[in-house]
Amino acid sequence: MVTIETIETFIVDVPTIRQHVLAMATMRTQAMVFVHVRCSDGVEGIGEGTTIGGLSYGDESPEGIKLTIDRHVAPLLHGSDASPARATMLLRKSIVGNHFAKNAVETALFDAAGKRAGVPVSELLGGRVRDRLPVLWTLASGDTARDIAEAETMIDQRRHKAFKLKIGKRDLVEDVAHVAAIKRALGDQASIRVDVNQAWDEATAKRGVAMLADADVDLIEQPISGANVSGMARLTAMGRTAIMADEGLRGPIDALRHATDAAADVFAVKIAQSGGLRAGAAVAGIAEVAGIGLYGGTMLEGPIGSIASAHLFATFAGLAFGTELFGPLLLAEDLLAEPLDYTEFSLAVPSGPGLGLTLDMEKVRAFRRDGDRRTVISISKAVGA
């Protein structure tokens, strides 16, 4: 039996290429918890725990994720079976919640398992049905003219042709005017969606849904509190435009309730928010059975978390609303030895063993919060390498 020998964590802080305005916070840097697992057969794996806007978004922070793994997860899994399924089963039995921490460790174990077997992680998740994933871009400067110019540049570069706007921080009428102006400027060249990040109450949301539908918006993401599933069902029943659940989906149980109550037209699948790759697959399975559309979500992860998500999303039979795996593009520094392939409005899913990527450890060390300059073993090491 292959066992887990060590689990190490460190935080990297990387500036973003521009400020990213959400309803609850404005991001200028992204903090990522990198997890390095070494197994008894010498195979190593890497994972990532990343959230948005610190504790203003959710109940896990980078510091909390690292502490949970260092003090609770690592001692629990030391010497245990390195199988992702068995390790995550042990975690579920012993640790409540902490989905982002669990996902980071499970990702590292899947990376190691794929390297051990000589196959991509997507093959361990059932097998990919696509090699490229459509990727949208979020326009989050808050300035209409700047957002239009940014979108036109992305279209000209053939990098993105679907755009999501972060709204909910300003007055409803002002927000809708901003969205409508961008849609008019781009016309049929692009799909326009909005993300309210739970900022509206239900009365405001009813007005907003109607106004945004009139502006030809294709999708409205989590307009009200994720806890208000009944309210989401009422907004979905309006039938004006597609309503997507995001923050309300904290794993398969939440997905089942949303499906049962017809509380969304679309599910945003996020592996970290779901509690891991296998939990994310379960959320998608519930959606598919219920006839709910799928969208590949993000926590604005860096390259590790984004590619882990990509391996799962590549296995989905349907992906009607594409993905938003643009997190690495938002970072001011590329942390990979070989950049990801973002061309023709899509992202290529790596085909190498495990996650199929290699970090540039010199760049990673430059952004480590602890300033540690020790030589770190390359995560690209495979069996016999």
CATH code of the domain covering residue 326:
3.20.20.120
For residue range 318-340, what is the model confidence (pLDDT) as tens digits? 999 999 999 999 999 999 999 99
Annotated catalytic residue 324: yes
**Does one domain contain both 68 and 180?**
no
Q: In what order do the strands lie in the sheet with 44-50?
A: 4-21, 26-39, 44-50
**Does one domain contain both 228 and 265?**
yes
- pTM of the predicted model, to two decimals? 0.92
Tally of structural domains, the chain = 2
For residue range 75-104, what is the model confidence (pLDDT) as tens digits? 999 999 999 999 999 999 999 999 999 999
**Does one domain contain both 149 and 264?**
yes
> Which has more pLDDT, 169 or 192?
192
Asked, for residue 248, whether it belongs to a domain, the answer is yes
**Does one domain contain both 152 and 63?**
no
Question: pLDDT tier at 211 (50, 70, 90 boundaries)?
Answer: very high
Query: Residue 334: CB partners within 8 Å, gap ≥ 6?
Result: 303, 328, 360, 363
Q: Of 28, 39, 36, nearest to 11 (Cα)?
A: 36
**Does one domain contain both 135 and 81?**
no
Asked, for residue 380, whether it belongs to a domain, the answer is no
**Does one domain contain both 322 and 185?**
yes
Asked, for residue 214, whether it belongs to a domain, the answer is yes
Catalytic residue (choose from 66, 102, 115, 166)? 166
> Mapping DSSP to helix (H, G, I), strand (E, B) and coil, where does residue 363 land?
helix
- Helix axes 303-313 and 277-290, enclosed angle (nearest 10): 40
Asked, for residue 320, whether it belongs to a domain, the answer is yes
Q: What is the mean pLDDT of the chain?
A: 92
Annotated catalytic residue 363: no
For residue range 219-276, what is the model confidence (pLDDT) as tens digits? 999 999 999 999 999 999 999 999 999 999 999 999 999 999 999 999 999 999 999 9
Asked, for residue 307, whether it belongs to a domain, the answer is yes
CATH code of the domain covering residue 70:
3.30.390.10
Contact 280, 311 (CB under 8 A): no
Asked, for residue 382, whether it belongs to a domain, the answer is no
Catalytic residue (choose from 60, 247, 301, 324)? 324
